Structure 1
Amino acid sequence: MEELLYDKDCKCPVCRHRFTTKKIRTRGLRIERREEDFNVIFKDINPNYYYIWVCPTCGYSATEKEFDNITSQQEDLISKSIRPKWKERSYGGVRTYSEAEESFKMALLIGQILNKSKSYMAGISLRLAWLYRETNNPKEITFLTHALELFEASYQTERIDEQGLDEVSLAYLNGELNRRVGRYKQAVRWYSITLDHPNIKNKRHLQIKAREQWQLAKEQNDEAKLNSN
């Protein structure tokens, strides 16, 4: 596993401390399977463990893409709200499951303090849900629901491409997350939005998957209605 990792030198934009964090050699990754909510399971290693960068000195945590995207006012806010309570510890080695979980929770906390975008917070919540899925932890549903509510809000109010998702893919994901948390009627509606989108013709694989999941959600919704009578 360690041969798939390498050290990345970083400088914290809050405390200016230099540290290293692990990154993945993507060329060495082997896919085991893909799940319907875009979670990719790899053999040998879970890249999700290293998705969040954590400064060991002050605790500032964010995704690689957003790590340096911070204003001087936000730096002061982190220095005053997080650093006094932070106990120095490194996340720069091979991470355990618990360390990965902690890194996501820190990123969510700091994202709330900095009032990060809904799509950014949704993306982190979704990846934390995927982490919990790895151990069949019931917290998966909690964070899938949190991600769903944020993604649905961001679909209406934000630039769609912040998490590398276009409008069609996000509509599909909203359908799949609704289905996974048992909101089958809403899932059917989002899958329909996906299939009716003018750009769906450019995403043949997603079109096929949306049709399959629409049918599954419809059957689950019908079954739920029968069971409630």
Structure 2
Amino acid sequence: MNPSIEPLYDKQITCTFCSTTYPTKKVRSRFTTPVVTDSDFCTYYKVERYDPVLYNTFVCPSCGFTSTDQFSPWFPPGTKREIKSNLVDKYRTQDFSHERSLEDAIHTYKLAVYTATLKKEKSVVLAGLYLRLVWLYRKLDMKEQEKRFMRLTVTSYERAYSESDRHSTEMNPLKILYLIGECKRRLGEHASAVFYFSKVIQQKNTVFDPKIVELARDQWYQTREDQKLQRSLAQ
């Protein structure tokens, strides 16, 4: 590996709201060496400071509009006015174009959640932001915050599953169902988790995603074991 190549590089972003062009950091793929991945897809890297999740958000230094690649370029009627009055007019300039810590990344994801809410982004986009906040808080070992955002993840994915446009992103229906089940399992809601894992297995012929079906089977058995243990401890 060429020692002169920096792990982080600048990518130019044009703000969807105010059209300002600004740099944001991204990680070169050769430096993102995964070590292990949790059952909800939280990935740990050989060098954690080069976790790509830290740099998925783009924060405009001029107006504060914060987005990801999953945001739609379209603004529903009235949302630009809401964004201007509730975000842009109150924004104090912050620079996130440098290397980010976990805390920096959390701040940017919360800005993205606020922006997405004002912009009325699809529930599946909002759920993805919440899920990444779950991962970031897990890496900081902040369990209460992790659980808080896990509940928000579940709510948004449940809403996304009921929306007919859920196919418009890389998140297929089976993956959404699986993540709802896995989040519920981690929250200790075992019966509900089993229900969602079962739905994945039952719909295996609807969407071709054998990896997700296999994960759902594994977690279905794991949840059953968790239920047995919980019952034995309660006796």
TM-score normalised over the length of structure 1: 0.90
Matched, 1:156 2:162: yes
Aligned residue among 10, 24, 29 for 1:21: 24
Structure-1 residue corresponding to 2:61: 56
| Structure 2 gaps, min length 5 | none
Q: Percent identity?
A: 25
Q: Given that residues 34 and 40 in structure 1 are in contact (C-alpha distance below 8 angstroms), is that contact kept between their aligned partners in structure 2?
A: yes
1:129 to partner: Cα distance: 0.6
- Counterpart of 1:78, as a letter, is I
Structure-2 residue corresponding to 1:96: 101
| Structure 1 gaps, min length 5 | none
Q: Given that residues 76 and 119 in structure 2 are in contact (C-alpha distance below 8 angstroms), is that contact kept between their aligned partners in structure 1?
A: no
Aligned-partner Cα distance in 2 for 1:161–1:64: 16
SS at match of 1:37: coil
Tell me whether 193-202 or 101-110 shows the greater mean CA deviation: 193-202
Aligned residue among 200, 206, 220 for 1:214: 220
SS at match of 1:7: strand
Structure-2 residue corresponding to 1:129: 134
Q: Given that residues 31 and 43 in structure 1 are in contact (C-alpha distance below 8 angstroms), is that contact kept between their aligned partners in structure 2?
A: yes
Aligned-partner Cα distance in 2 for 1:82–1:208: 43
1:174 to partner: Cα distance: 1.5
SS at match of 2:34: strand
Structure-1 residue corresponding to 2:147: 141
1:162 to partner: Cα distance: 4.2
Structure-2 residue corresponding to 1:193: 199
- The Cα RMSD (Å) is 2.2
1:182 to partner: Cα distance: 0.8
Q: Given that residues 171 and 190 in structure 1 are in contact (C-alpha distance below 8 angstroms), is that contact kept between their aligned partners in structure 2?
A: yes
TM-score normalised over the length of structure 2: 0.88
- Counterpart of 2:71, as a letter, is E
Aligned-partner Cα distance in 1 for 2:222–2:121: 34
1:130 to partner: Cα distance: 0.5
Q: Given that residues 200 and 206 in structure 1 are in contact (C-alpha distance below 8 angstroms), is that contact kept between their aligned partners in structure 2?
A: no
Q: Given that residues 148 and 177 in structure 1 are in contact (C-alpha distance below 8 angstroms), is that contact kept between their aligned partners in structure 2?
A: yes
Aligned-partner Cα distance in 2 for 1:67–1:102: 21
After superposition, the Cα gap between the structure-2 partners of 1:46 and 1:69, relative to the gap in structure 1 and judged at 3 Å, is farther
Q: Given that residues 191 and 210 in structure 1 are in contact (C-alpha distance below 8 angstroms), is that contact kept between their aligned partners in structure 2?
A: yes
Question: In the comparison of the two structures, how many residue pairs are matched?
Answer: 229
After superposition, the Cα gap between the structure-2 partners of 1:16 and 1:204, relative to the gap in structure 1 and judged at 3 Å, is closer
- Counterpart of 1:25, as a letter, is R
Matched, 1:39 2:39: no
